[in-house]
A and B are shown apart, each in its own frame.
Chain A
Amino acid sequence: RKEVEQDPGPFNVPEGATVAFNCTYSNSASQSFFWYRQDCRKEPKLLMSVYSSGNEDGRFTAQLNRASQYISLLIRDSKLSDSATYLCVVNGGYNNAGNMLTFGGGTRLMVKP
């Protein structure tokens, strides 16, 4: 069964802290990797795509290790508004005409003043 595994947390951190989330995926055929953010009872919102070379967007840095099938997200200088559930997402690796996404269960982050 193709799965994405994440530590559910919660991670409770003070404002300004650096926090890191990890996930592992089991489908070695996956080609696309993402972090989404989900607020309570809202839709997943794309935070960033994850590339093999690693990529950074402001305070957020994502890394991909294909050999270990491991994805990470680092948040620096965390803000109260970063409080949310962070979803690790990979594509299913099926035929090119379809691109189903497989979601992890999410890691909950709570940033405290």
Chain B
Amino acid sequence: EPEVTQTPSHQVTQMGQEVILRCVPISNHLYFYWYRQILGQKVEFLVSFYNNEISEKSEIFDDQFSVERPDGSNFTLKIRSTKLEDSAMYFCASSTPLHNEQFFGPGTRLTVL
């Protein structure tokens, strides 16, 4: 069964450093998403991406965040200057154009020290 994959599974970084989280969505999906979940809290939407541009973003997704689809398979989330409060699990998801069932990757646990 096709699945969303994410790398790395765990990223530790120093405050102020840039990080790039990588995702490979399911191959025939055209909508891509990033969500995050701070430990013990709800899953929160960050951004959606379709047709090579951002289609929606939340108030969390400020100028420190950016997304890119650099090639036909990868979808990345970049945080330019990490803060302590960026520590969370970051989930990538994808869906088809026909319905909004979103399938999630296993997540990247980001720890900012």
A window 43-57: CB within 8 A of B = 43-46, 49
Among B12-20, B67-75, B78-86, B96-104, the stretch in contact with A: B96-104
A100 within 8 A of B: yes
Known A-B contacts A44-B91, A94-B56; the reply to A101 vs B106 at CB < 8 A is no
Residues on the A chain within 8 Å of B105, using CB: 43
A14 CB, nearest partner CB in chain B, Å: 27
**In the assembly, what is the distance between CA of A91 and CA of B95, in Å?**
13
Partner of B45, one of A41, A43, A46, A102: A102
B33 CB, nearest partner CB in chain A, Å: 7
Contact between B101 and A103, CB atoms less than 8 A apart: no
Number of residues on chain A facing chain B (CB within 8 A): 25
Known A-B contacts A43-B91, A92-B56; the reply to A100 vs B45 at CB < 8 A is yes
Partner of A103, one of B44, B99, B106: B44
A32 within 8 A of B: yes
**Residues of A contacting B: mostly:** loop
User: How many contacting A-B pairs (Cβ < 8 A)?
Assistant: 62
Residues on the A chain within 8 Å of B45, using CB: 92, 100-102
**In the assembly, what is the distance between CA of A34 and CA of B101, in Å?**
8
Contact between B104 and A43, CB atoms less than 8 A apart: yes
Residues on the B chain within 8 Å of A91, using CB: 100
Number of residues on chain B facing chain A (CB within 8 A): 26
Contact between B99 and A87, CB atoms less than 8 A apart: no
**In the assembly, what is the distance between CA of A103 and CA of B104, in Å?**
13
Question: Considering residues B41, B43, B106, which has the most beta carbons from chain A within 10 angstroms of its beta carbon?
Answer: B43
Task: List residues of A whose CB falls within 8 A of some B CB.
Answer: 32, 34, 38, 41-46, 49, 87, 91-92, 94-95, 97-106
B58 CB, nearest partner CB in chain A, Å: 7
Name 14 A/B residue pairs within 8 A (Cβ), A-sorted.
A38-B43, A42-B107, A44-B104, A46-B101, A49-B99, A94-B56, A97-B50, A97-B56, A98-B55, A99-B56, A100-B33, A101-B33, A101-B102, A106-B42
Contact between B42 and A46, CB atoms less than 8 A apart: no
B window 37-81: CB within 8 A of A = 41-45, 48, 50-51, 55-56, 58
